[in-house]
């Protein structure tokens, strides 16, 4: 009897290991009926294919790594809370960046499959393409730095000391996002009066006395804190499609003052600055038309604020109703512009923003 039990155990072990009935084990099994029938393969034993086994091993490894990562994060949170906050923001940023890259891939694939031109892309898709492109351009140096082994620790140090200069918005906390947008707006606001002064000095070379007086009147309104209406701007639009204020006719100094409005570097040759200003202004004009096609009422509060900020207005002190009111006025102005009037579009990022609103929200 003892030998029989050992034989059963040995046979069961072989079945569990190899997933089939052991060969050559006959007398040791308990009854002749089990040995002679087809059900002797022991119904309670499960059969695993190699692919199922590999899949199970992969799940086990992923589960183990996830457990180790969670334990490591709990350790950091308990022992090094400030570093944990940095680490958590960094990892979350990579996930957000990966999600944006996947979304852009879907948008581009859909554009190719449906043969859709860029100017016909829906507003949200067009804005996503614009923003991700700018983010990736800024993130290239950081990606290059993080390539060598153990370089991620250097990235953490740079992220801690220079988050605004080196990191993109995916790696900012919500508080940093508000703070850094305020810093960037302050930097571009430093060029507002230089741009208005440039318009005043250029008006002396205007031959048409009527256009000259209207431009001087427009600059005077802005200087005295008056928010101009759209008709005031359209009255001088012909000056911005050719000399002296066209995008290809402006002085280099005036173009360099316009660069911070779009967060572009002014440290480039004049002809290159003009091309970049023109392409970015055309892109924003296409976005304006896409908003009109979508319907301004379709934008939520976050999208409203972002649209105002990109076009030169600081929405931090504005209510959603004020943002919607200003963007309505802006679209009334921009959707009637021609592609040759990009210079007027850029100058109005000062003329139509610097004095709005007269009474911000409390």
pLDDT digits (tens, 9 = 90+) for 188-202: 999 999 999 999 999
Give domain limits for the chain. 2-35, 80-171, 189-351
Q: Are 86 and 156 in contact (CB under 8 A)?
A: yes
pLDDT, greater one: 93 or 105:
105
**Spatial distance between the Cα atoms of 86 and 167, rounded to a whole number of angstroms:** 12
Q: Are 211 and 236 in contact (CB under 8 A)?
A: yes
pLDDT digits (tens, 9 = 90+) for 29-80: 344 443 444 444 444 444 545 655 556 776 777 777 777 767 766 776 777 7
**Spatial distance between the Cα atoms of 4 and 6, rounded to a whole number of angstroms:** 5
The mean of the pLDDT values for the chain is 82
Cα 246–Cα 250–Cα 253 angle in degrees, nearest 5: 150
Torsion of CA 184, 185, 186, 191, to 10 degrees: 110
Residue 92's pLDDT band (cuts 50, 70, 90): confident
pLDDT digits (tens, 9 = 90+) for 129-182: 999 999 888 888 777 877 777 676 777 778 788 888 888 888 888 888 999 999
| Cβ within 8 Å of residue 311, ≥6 positions away | 284, 327, 330, 349, 353
**Spatial distance between the Cα atoms of 78 and 87, rounded to a whole number of angstroms:** 13
Q: Are 346 and 192 in contact (CB under 8 A)?
A: no
Residue 3's pLDDT band (cuts 50, 70, 90): very low
* Dihedral class, residue 263 (left if φ above 0, else alpha if ψ from -120 to 50, else beta): left
Distances (CA, A) of 73 to 63, 66, 78, 150: 15, 11, 9, 18
pLDDT, greater one: 300 or 362:
300
**Spatial distance between the Cα atoms of 89 and 67, rounded to a whole number of angstroms:** 20
**Spatial distance between the Cα atoms of 134 and 184, rounded to a whole number of angstroms:** 15
Per-residue confidence (pLDDT) for residue 15, from 0 to 100: 37
Burial classification of residue 305, based on how many CB atoms lie within 10 Å of its CB (0-12 exposed, 13-18 middle, 19 or more buried): buried
Token pair of 65 as six digits: 């790594």
**Spatial distance between the Cα atoms of 204 and 189, rounded to a whole number of angstroms:** 25
Per-residue confidence (pLDDT) for residue 10, from 0 to 100: 42
Other beta carbons within 10 Å of 308 = 21
């Amino acid at each position: 009897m003892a030998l029989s039990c050992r034989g059963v155990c040995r046979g069961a072990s072989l079945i569990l290991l190899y997933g089939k009935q052991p060969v050559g084990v006959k007398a040791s099994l308990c009854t002749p009926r089990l040995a002679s029938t087809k059900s002797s393969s022991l119904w309670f034993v499960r059969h695993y294919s190699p692919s199922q086994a590999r899949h199970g091993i992969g799940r086990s490894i992923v589960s183990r790594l996830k457990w180790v990562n969670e334990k490591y994060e709990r350790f950091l949170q308990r022992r090094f809370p400030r570093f944990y906050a940095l680490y958590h923001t960094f990892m979350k940023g990579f996930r957000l960046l990966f999600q944006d890259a996947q979304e852009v891939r879907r948008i581009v694939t859909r554009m190719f499959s449906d043969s859709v031109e860029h100017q016909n892309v829906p507003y949200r898709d067009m804005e996503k393409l614009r923003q991700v492109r700018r983010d990736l351009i800024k993130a290239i140096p950081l990606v290059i730095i993080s390539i060598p082994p153990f370089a991620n620790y250097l990235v953490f140090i740079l992220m801690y000391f220079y988050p605004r200069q080196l990191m993109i918005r995916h790696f900012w906390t919500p508080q940093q996002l508000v703070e850094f947008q305020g810093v960037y707006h302050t930097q571009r606001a430093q060029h507002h009066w230089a741009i208005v002064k440039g318009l005043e000095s250029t008006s002396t070379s205007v031959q048409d006395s009527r256009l000259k007086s209207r431009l001087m009147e427009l600059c005077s309104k802005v200087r005295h804190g008056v928010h101009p209406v759209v008709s005031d701007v359209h009255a001088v639009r012909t000056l911005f499609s050719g000399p002296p204020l066209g995008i290809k006719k402006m002085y280099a100094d005036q173009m360099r003052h316009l660069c911070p409005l779009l967060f572009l570097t002014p440290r480039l040759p004049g002809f290159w600055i003009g091309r970049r200003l023109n392409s970015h202004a055309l892109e924003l004009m296409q976005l304006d038309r896409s908003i009109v096609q979508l319907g301004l009422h379709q934008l939520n509060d976050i999208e409203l604020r972002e649209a105002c900020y990109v076009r030169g207005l600081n929405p931090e002190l504005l209510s959603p109703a004020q943002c919607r009111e200003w963007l309505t006025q802006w679209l009334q102005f921009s959707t009637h512009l021609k592609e040759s009037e990009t210079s007027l579009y850029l100058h109005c990022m000062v003329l139509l923003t610097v004095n709005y609103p007269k009474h911000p929200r409390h």
